[in-house]
């Protein structure tokens, strides 16, 4: 592969919109193990929420995909590969990025955390309001010597 071809491939996989219109690969070999990636991603995404036991599996899959992405990127950057092999690696990286985007944007799990944080903040604000309205805030501050 010529150096300018290598640079074109690297630029393509690092482009902001590289995953637009890209498909998640049906299967992918990650660290020697073949995974039905598309099935896995769609199985996880179709659920309303990701069960606690599945969250670990999803996080592990994301770590493995990131590791595989780095390995493929390094193969393009430093490897003695043909143009065809480089194209194949680039398409694989874009597919991995597409899968990672889908797994990173699992709305319900983030929404659950956000909702719990919002409820805790609402409760804290409500308690502060009640303390002020009932005069407990002033009594507590005078007891502390303010």
Confidence (pLDDT) at 18: 79
Task: Count the Cβ atoms, other than its own, within 10 Å of residue 142.
Answer: 9
Q: Burial, 16: exposed, middle or buried (Cβ in 10 Å; 0-12, 13-18, 19+)? A: exposed
Give the residues of the chain that fall short of pLDDT 50.
108-110, 139, 142, 146
Q: Model's pTM, two decimal places?
A: 0.66
State the residue for tokens 């009932």. 134
Confidence (pLDDT) at 114: 64
In the chain, % helix, strand, coil (3-state, to 5) comes to 75, 5, 25
Confidence (pLDDT) at 108: 47
């Amino acid at each position: 592969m010529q150096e300018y071809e290598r640079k074109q491939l690297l630029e393509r996989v690092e482009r902001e919109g590289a995953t637009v219109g890209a498909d998640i690969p049906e299967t992918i070999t990650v660290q020697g193990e073949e995974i039905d990636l598309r099935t896995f991603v769609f199985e996880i995404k179709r659920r309303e929420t990701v069960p606690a036991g599945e969250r670990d599996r999803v996080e592990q899959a994301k770590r493995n995909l990131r590791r595989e992405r780095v390995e493929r990127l390094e193969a393009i950057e430093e490897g003695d590969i043909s143009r065809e092999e480089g194209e194949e690696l680039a398409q694989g990286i874009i597919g991995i990025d597409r899968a990672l985007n889908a797994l990173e944007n699992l709305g319900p799990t983030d929404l659950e955390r956000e909702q719990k944080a919002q409820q805790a903040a609402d409760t804290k604000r409500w308690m502060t309001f009640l303390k002020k309205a009932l005069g407990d805030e002033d009594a507590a501050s005078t007891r502390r010597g303010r």
